[in-house]
Amino acid sequence: MIGLARRLREAGVLGLNRRNAEYTLLYNQRRLYPLVDDKLQTKKLALAAGIAVPDLYGVIEVQREVRNLPRIIAGHDAFVVKPAQGSGGKGILVLEKGPRGLYRKPNGSFMSEAELAYHTGNILSGIYSLGGQPDKVLIEYRVNFDPIFARIAYQGVPDIRIISFLGVPVMAMVRLPTRQSGGKANLHQGAIGAGVDLATGRTLTAVWGNGVVDTHPDTLNPVTGVEIPHWPTLLDHAARAWELTGLGYQGIDIVLDRDLGPLILELNARPGLNIQIANRAGLGLRLEKVKASRDGLKTVEDRIAFARENFAAA
Amino acid sequence: MNNRHLYWLAGVLAAIAFAIFGYKVLILKFPVTPDRLATAWRIEARIDFNAHGGPVLGEFLLPRSTTTRPVFNEAFVSGPYGIATRDAGDNRAAVFSIAEATGPQTLFYRATLELAPATETPAPSPTPSLNRVPMNEAELAAARALLVKLRPRAAGISTLMGLLITNLRNAQPGDEASLLLGNSRSTRRIVDTAIKVLRQGGIPARRVNGFALAEDRRQIGVAHWIEVYVEDRWLPFQATDGAAGVPPRHFPWWRGEQNSVTITGADRPHITYSVSMAHQFALRAALERSRTIGVNLTDFSLFGLPFQTQQVYRILLVVPVGIFLLVLLRNVVGLRTFGTFMPVLIAMAFRETHLIWGITLFSIVVFLGISVRFYLEHLKLLLVPRLAAIVIVVIGVMALLSVISFKLGFMGGLSVALFPIVILTMTIERMTVVWDERGAMEAITQAAGSLVVAIFCYLLMNAQIVGHLAFVFPELLLVLLAGILLLGRYSGYRLTELGRFRVLAGKDPQ
């Protein structure tokens, strides 16, 4: 067991304790957390910086406003309901309008108006929010994902997670929903994570649960070697996120829309560590590398070039 | 970030703790391990009453010190009250008085007692007068009938007592025993009735009131038994079955049918007694030694607190030990639990319920709570009212469990009341959310994980040596604090991460 720990350390694998003690606690100031924990604030920041985000249809802040829901979604065939302060994808509903006033979920099941109102009320009372405090509900544009992913995602919206440290993109993965994840792009819930070569934007091996897979378990199409469109823009967004929020260590979640291109979904001040498994590589060595040469990296271009050069797949 | 500051702080804290600990162990000779031969008990009586505004005069009956049952270290905490002890017939009494008092008043009496050896022979005492208790005609007839029935079958006082108590215990409606007892079947009533009957038959008898010195308890009930005057001494008989001798591990406090406190100028007083294993002879000697050196550790330590408060700290001081274990299990092992400190609170409840009962009750309450929570899901309630509803259900389930287990004769079920209700409710709510989001397996795994952590915490917190060290050497808390501070900067892998990231180790041939 000691040997295993040593080998992991040599591979530069980052553990939860080290991520907290040496990165999030040191490089992410507590007062900046609300910027990313509240998705409404993140949206405003991104828009101000000229970065595209999914269009916001409406916000519900108190229980009484739940009745405004039909008015907010009027004129939109599909929409997403999410807690402003949710974590780990909890409480997010992706809905399409269906027959008889029902709403269709990505898995094909239906939800009534009353069930949607109940879900909205639950979000407001804070069961999905980080500290359990009362929350807001965002209703926003449902992404029509890029056709490149249609072959390798089962329902739901695949997204791209890039971890950036001091403004340098250090690791990336694509998260692909599966039948098991219920259309959600969350690895905990059964989505596939595929590592991405930072230099080329091409997917590497993928993990599902605790094992490595080459093909999507539901569509049976290969998930490796897929080239992600708009890759330079994605790297640019990830590098800029540092100036945006001031958080040194963060995860940037981006979706690719068929028509609108890359949209920032959310930023994360405590991004998970599964990305290491998806990339079959440890974060620790890359982070140390960035720390050692941080003084030479002044501009966004410098940082992107540094990432492409140093963190290309072997 | 420089960790030197932290290492210094932890080092200083640990050094202070070990310095005090070393001084107490090496110089004052405080015992490091709990003494197995502990036979001394500290008992505290707390008298609360509401004074009417004028003079207050009261009398509190005290235990009498004998060679077999010494009473020492007596102390009164009586505030402005004047205290004097006097001889009151069969008892010793403390008379307390004040010229004027209004509102709630509290007096404390503390003493250390020792239990007499099981086989003791009472000392001779002068013949008492036979105070027959006045009875009405029906009772008189019943008492006589009972004596006529039992006496021929008894070979001596021992068998007579056995027969008499068994008869009273098994009173059937309509028989003499039932008529004498009236409505009550309490031990006190049985004792008083037996005394009435015995005196009617010309045998001097009296009630003894005392305590079971079995374990550390914060509020203990008064126990009763009987003494009968045979030849030239008072012989004790138990009130359960009339067997000879003082009930096991019981200490007689006062004798007679009166209450232990009588008072004028105030409302009926309320008396609570608490008892704990007194801190042994080695420890007492250590405390006395410290006094002679001039360091009065008794006054400035937990030993100087009122007894009930000491009992509270005995429990509170082991909590940091449990918390330390919890930090280890969460941050070094990587176990996940519902609620950060929930397992420690459950472990505290286990102290009272004991392990098997604790686990059973916990599982039943959580299971029923979850069933109800799933039902409530259909009603689409808002969060806070829903939580409130679960709190009520949890309390109801606990009450029901107590009643059912009591009816079935499982006393262990009564202690369910000690579970932290709000914590259980939050556990149930979180568990259902996890159940919905991540599936039943994950929810049950996490619940079982919490329970396992609680069991570990309980086993550690309940270890005798841990309780002893925490209470006698509270400075060791600083060592725990230092350890927790250091763990706060532990950045190594968690044990569970070794498994999670296994694929990243070695196999990669780069």
Q: pLDDT tens-digit profile of A152-205? A: 777 777 889 999 999 899 999 998 888 877 767 777 778 888 899 988 888 888
Asked whether the beta carbons of A262 and A252 are under 8 A apart, the reply is no
Instruction: Give SS3 for A54.
Output: coil
B433 to chain A: closest CA residue:
A127
Q: What six digits make up the tokens of B225?
A: 């038994």
Asked whether the predicted pLDDT for residue A314 surpasses 90, the reply is no
DSSP-derived pairing of the beta strands B205-212 and B223-230:
antiparallel
Nearest chain A CA: its distance from B489 CA (Å): 6
* For range A206-226, the mean pLDDT: 80
How far is CA B315 from each of CA B217, B319, B469, B475, B504, rounded to the nearest angstrom?
Answer: 11, 7, 12, 16, 45
Give the count of Cβ contacts less than 8 A between chain A and B: 88
Residue A157 and residue A236 in one domain: yes
pLDDT at B327: 92
**Contact at CB, A16 and B437, closer than 8 angstroms:** no
Nearest chain A CA: its distance from B378 CA (Å): 10
Question: Among B501, B484, B328, which Cα is nearest to B13's?
Answer: B484
Residue A306 and residue A206 in one domain: yes
Percent of chain A with pLDDT over 90: 18
pLDDT at B25: 82
In this complex, the residue of A7, A11, A17 whose CB is nearest that of residue B491 is A17
How far is CA B171 from each of CA A72, A94, A116, B135, B185, rounded to the nearest angstrom?
Answer: 78, 74, 66, 19, 9
Q: Which residues of B touch A187 (CB under 8 A)?
A: none
Question: Among B168, B175, B171, which Cα is nearest to B238's?
Answer: B168
Tell me which of A115, A141, A167 is where a domain ends.
A141
Question: Among B472, B72, B107, B73, which Cα is nearest to B302's?
Answer: B472
Asked whether the beta carbons of A187 and A312 are under 8 A apart, the reply is no
**Contact at CB, B1 and A26, closer than 8 angstroms:** yes
Residue A100 and residue A249 in one domain: no
Give dist(CA A294, CA B40) in Å, integer: 69
Give dist(CA B101, CA B48) in Å, integer: 13
For an interface test with A, the pick among B390, B495, B503 (most A C-beta atoms closer than 10 Å) comes out as B503
In this complex, the residue of B383, B492, B506 whose CB is nearest that of residue A122 is B383
Tell me which of A141, A171, A202 is where a domain ends.
A141
The 10 Å Cβ neighbour count of residue A314 is 8
Q: H or E stretch including B146?
A: helix B137-150
Low-confidence ranges of chain B (pLDDT < 50): 36, 38, 508-510
For an interface test with B, the pick among A13, A128, A287 (most B C-beta atoms closer than 10 Å) comes out as A13
- How do the residues of chain A divide into helix, strand and coil, expressed in percent and rounded to 5? 40, 25, 35
Write the single-letter amino acid at B230: V
Per-residue pLDDT of A29-87, as tens digits, reads 888 888 888 889 999 999 988 889 999 999 999 888 888 888 898 889 999 999 998 87
Question: Among A121, A103, A123, which Cα is nearest to A112's?
Answer: A103
pLDDT at B289: 58
Asked whether the beta carbons of B434 and B464 are under 8 A apart, the reply is no
A 122-141: CB under 8 A from B: 122, 125-127
Residue A94 and residue A194 in one domain: no
Residue A44 and residue A95 in one domain: no
**Looking at the complex, does the CB of residue A190 fall below 8 Å from at least one CB of chain B?**
no
Nearest chain A CA: its distance from B332 CA (Å): 8
Q: H or E stretch including B235?
A: strand B233-237
Nearest chain B CA: its distance from A47 CA (Å): 32
Residue A196 and residue A219 in one domain: yes
Among chain B, residues having any CB pair with chain A shorter than 8 Å are 1, 331, 334, 380, 382-384, 429, 433, 437-438, 489-495, 497-498, 500-506, 508, 510
**Contact at CB, A210 and B503, closer than 8 angstroms:** yes
Q: Which residues of A touch B490 (CB under 8 A)?
A: 17, 21
Give dist(CA A267, CA A244) in Å, integer: 10
Residue A101 and residue A204 in one domain: no
Q: H or E stretch including A95?
A: strand A93-97
Outline where DSSP puts E strands in A142-200. Answer: 159-165, 168-176, 192-196
The Cα angle at residue A126 between residues A124 and A129, in degrees rounded to 5: 120
Give dist(CA B234, CA A69) in Å, integer: 86
C-alpha B330: how far from its chain's center? 32
Tell me which of A94, A121, A141 is where a domain ends.
A141
pLDDT at B412: 65
Task: Kindly provide the ipTM of the predicted complex, given to two decimals.
Answer: 0.76
Residue with tokens 């105070």: B131
C-alpha A292: how far from its chain's center? 27
H helices within A104-219, ranges in order? Answer: 113-125
Per-residue pLDDT of A190-204, as tens digits, reads 888 889 998 888 888
Residue A115 and residue A34 in one domain: no
Residue A87 and residue A155 in one domain: no
**Average pLDDT over chain A, rounded to an integer:** 86
Residue A87 and residue A6 in one domain: no
Give dist(CA A260, CA A256) in Å, integer: 8
CATH number at residue A157: 3.30.470.20
Per domain, the residue ranges of chain B are 319-461
Instruction: Give SS3 for B94.
Output: strand
Q: H or E stretch including A175?
A: strand A168-176
Asked whether the beta carbons of A181 and A155 are under 8 A apart, the reply is no
**Contact at CB, B334 and A125, closer than 8 angstroms:** no
CATH number at residue A84: 3.30.1490
pLDDT at B299: 59
Residue A171 and residue A45 in one domain: yes
Per-residue pLDDT of A98-128, as tens digits, reads 888 889 887 788 999 888 988 998 888 888 8
Number of domains within chain A: 2
For an interface test with B, the pick among A2, A16, A63, A213 (most B C-beta atoms closer than 10 Å) comes out as A16
Q: Torsion-angle region of residue A100: left (phi > 0), alpha (psi -120 to 50) or beta?
A: left
**Looking at the complex, does the CB of residue A29 fall below 8 Å from at least one CB of chain B?**
no
Residue A37 and residue A185 in one domain: yes
Q: Which domain holds residue A92?
A: 56-141
Q: Which residues of B touch A11 (CB under 8 A)?
A: 504-506, 508
For an interface test with B, the pick among A1, A2, A6, A8 (most B C-beta atoms closer than 10 Å) comes out as A8
